[in-house]
Amino acid sequence: MASRRALRNYDPRMMDTSVPRHLVTVCARHALRRAVAELLGVNVGVELAVAGAIPKSREATATWAPPRPHMDGDYPVMMPNGWVAGAILFLTPVGSQEGAFLAYPGSHLRQRTRAARLPGGLRGGTPLDEAGPFEEVLVQAGDVVLFHPLLVHSGSPNRCGKRSRLALHSWWCGRARVVPGGKPFAAMSTIEKGWSPRYLESRFGVPRAIPACTPGPRQSLALHRGIGTKRAIAAYTLLNRGDHIERLVVEKGGPPKAGVVRSDVSRDLVSWRTIDRVLCAPASIRSLAHFEWGDELILAVASREGLELRVRDGSSGAFSRRAVVPNATCGCPHFNVNAVNSTRFAAGAVLFFVTREDGARVRCRWGATWDRLDAGEVVAAEACPGVRIIDVQVRPVNAGTVFAMIADFETKEGSHPAYVLSDDSALYTGSFRPLRFDVPVPPRRLRVVARAQGYWLVSYLRCEGGSVRMFWGELDWERKPIAVREIRSASALRDAFHVTGLR
C-alpha cells in the first residue's frame, strides 16, 4: 500500500532527489535489497547510497542514435568506491527504442583492464569511446536492472513509446569495505569475484597491477628505512602506472638557476632507476603535484617564479605549458565533470593554489580547459592566522560525495599536516584539523597513490637518519582517529594493495 501511494504521488517532472530517494526506499524495501545482499554475500548491512529519478519523455522525431556511453560516478577506481551495485527500477514497460537501458557487454572487464594499466585513467560521468556492441535491455514494469559500477552503459531515445518512460536509479553499498584479498575463490561472493584482481585474472585474463611487487624481507627493510635519493628530495609526486610506479622528483643541490624534474621508475617499490629528465623549469622547483584524467597527466610545477600547469597526453609524450599563476607558491590540479555531482559551481579544469601575499588561503580557479581557467575564482579554504600553507592536495574520499583537502602548515613551531572535508570538491568551508600520524617526525608532501572506499594508499616525505626520505602509509578515513599510519612491512603493504585492488 505504501508503494502504491508513493507511485501515485510521484511526479516524474520533479527532479529533487529527496522525493525519488523516498520512492526507491519504499519500492525496494524487500526484493531489491535482498538481491543486492545476495550478490554481496551478506545477510544485513545493505544500504541505499544514492537515488534519483530518470524519466524520459517520448520523442517521436528523435533519430535512432544512442547517446555516447558512460560509466556512473565521477572518479571510478579499481575497487568499489562508495557503491557496489547500480540498479534501475522501471515503473513502465520498455520496448525497443523506448528509452531502454543500453549495456555494453564485457565493458566492465575492459575498464578493469584499462585500470590495471593506467589506474588514474578511468573517467566516470563523461562520454566514453566504447567501441564494443551494445544490447537493449527490454523490461516490464517492476523489473530491475542490476549492473557493475564499471559497466559502460547508456540509454536509448524514447522514439517509439506511447508515453514517457518512468524509472528510478539507485546505487547500493555495504556497510563494510569490499576486500576480496587472498580469499579462496569458493569463499568469495559474486560482488567480491567481480572486483578481485586474482579472480579476474584467472577467469577472464584481466591483468593485475604491479605484478612484480612480491612481499619479502628486502621490501620490508626498504619500507622501514624509507626510499632515498643521492641528494635530499626537494619536491616529488608519484604516478601509479599499472605495472610500475613512476616518481617525478626534484633533488636539492642541483643547478642553482634551474629546476630539473627527473623520472624514476620501480616495479617492486624497492629498486628505482632513472629513465629521463621529463622537463626543466627556469627556477628552482619547490613543489610538484599532479592529476590524471583519462590519458592526460596534468602537472602543477611551483618554482620561485610562480606556478605552471604542464599537460602530457599519453605516457610518453612531452609536457606542454598550459597556464601560469605568477604569484603562486604551491598548488594542485583537479577536474570536475560538471557542476551537478561533485561540485555546485566549479565545472571543468580546476586549479587550487596558494599565493605569496595570502599564504593562509587556498584559492580555486576553474575553466573549460587547462589553458582557459577564466570561468571563476573563489577562496576554497582558509587556515588560521599565522599559518602559511606550503603544500596542498585534493582527492575524493568516497566516490564523488566526500572530498578531502590535505595541506602542509608552516608555523613558528615547524610544519605539520592538516585536513578538511567537504561534499563540494571546490569549496571547504569547515576548519582545518590536525592530521595525526604514528611516527616521531611529521610527514609532509603527502601524495595519494591509490584509492578505495574511504581509503588512501599514500606516500610522503619525512626525515630519517639525518636525510629526507620517502615513505609509504595508509589513510583510512573510516578508522578513528583519522591518521596517517606508516606502512613498515611487506605484509602491511600487501594488505594495502588488497584494499586498493593493486594485488
Give the DSSP letter string of 185-246.
Answer: GGG--HHHHHH-HHHHHHHH-PPPSSTT----HHHHHHHHH-B--SS-EEEEEEEE-SSSEE
Query: 3-class SS at 36?
Result: helix
pLDDT level of residue 73 (50, 70, 90 thresholds): confident
Residues 2-204: name the CATH superfamily: q2cbj1_9rhob like domain (2.60.120.620)
Residues 233-447: name the CATH superfamily: Glycosyl hydrolase domain; family 43 (2.115.10.20)
Scan for cell 582517529, then name that residue: 481
Domain definitions of the chain by residue range: 2-204, 233-447
- Provide the pLDDT for residue 204: 95
C-alpha–C-alpha distance, residues 431 and 182, integer Å: 40
Please indicate whether the domains covering 2-204 and 233-447 agree at the CATH topology level.
no
Mean pLDDT of 471-476: 96
DSSP 8-state symbol, 386: T
pLDDT level of residue 255 (50, 70, 90 thresholds): low
Scan for cell 576486500, then name that residue: 179
* 135 Cβ contact partners less than 8 Å away, ≥ 6 residues apart: 102, 103, 104, 105
Q: Please determine, for residue 74, whether its predicted confidence score (pLDDT) is greater than 80.
A: yes
Scan for cell 561533485, then name that residue: 342
Q: Which of 180, 132, 86 has its CA nearest to residue 399? A: 86
Mean pLDDT of 333-345: 86
The residue ranking higher by pLDDT, 312 or 330, is 330
- Provide the pLDDT for residue 1: 41
C-alpha–C-alpha distance, residues 87 and 218, integer Å: 46
Mean pLDDT of 417-438: 96
How many Cβ atoms from other residues are within 10 Å of residue 174's Cβ?
Answer: 23
Mean pLDDT of 352-381: 96
DSSP 8-state symbol, 119: G
Q: Residues 260-282: pLDDT tens digits?
A: 888 899 888 778 888 877 777 76
Q: Residues 83-95: pLDDT tens digits?
A: 899 999 888 899 9
The residue ranking higher by pLDDT, 221 or 424, is 424
Q: Residues 182-192: pLDDT tens digits?
A: 999 999 999 99
Q: Please determine, for residue 296, whether its predicted confidence score (pLDDT) is greater than 50.
A: yes
Pairing of strands 167-174, 153-155: unpaired
| Range among 290-299, 358-367, 492-501 rated most confident | 358-367
3-state helix, strand, coil in the chain (%, to 5): 15, 40, 45
Mean pLDDT of 417-427: 96
| Residues recorded for the chain | 503
Q: Residues 154-188: pLDDT tens digits?
A: 988 888 888 888 888 888 888 889 999 999 999 99
pLDDT level of residue 394 (50, 70, 90 thresholds): very high
Q: Please determine, for residue 413, whether its predicted confidence score (pLDDT) is greater than 90.
A: no
- Provide the pLDDT for residue 311: 92
Partner residues linked to 165 by β-bridges:
56
Partner residues linked to 474 by β-bridges:
457, 485
Q: Residues 109-134: pLDDT tens digits?
A: 999 988 888 877 788 877 787 767 89
Mean pLDDT of 40-44: 75
Average model confidence (pLDDT) across the chain: 86
Mean pLDDT of 137-143: 92
Q: Please determine, for residue 213, whether its predicted confidence score (pLDDT) is greater than 50.
A: yes
- Provide the pLDDT for residue 280: 76
Are 226 and 470 spatial neighbours (Cβ–Cβ below 8 Å)? yes
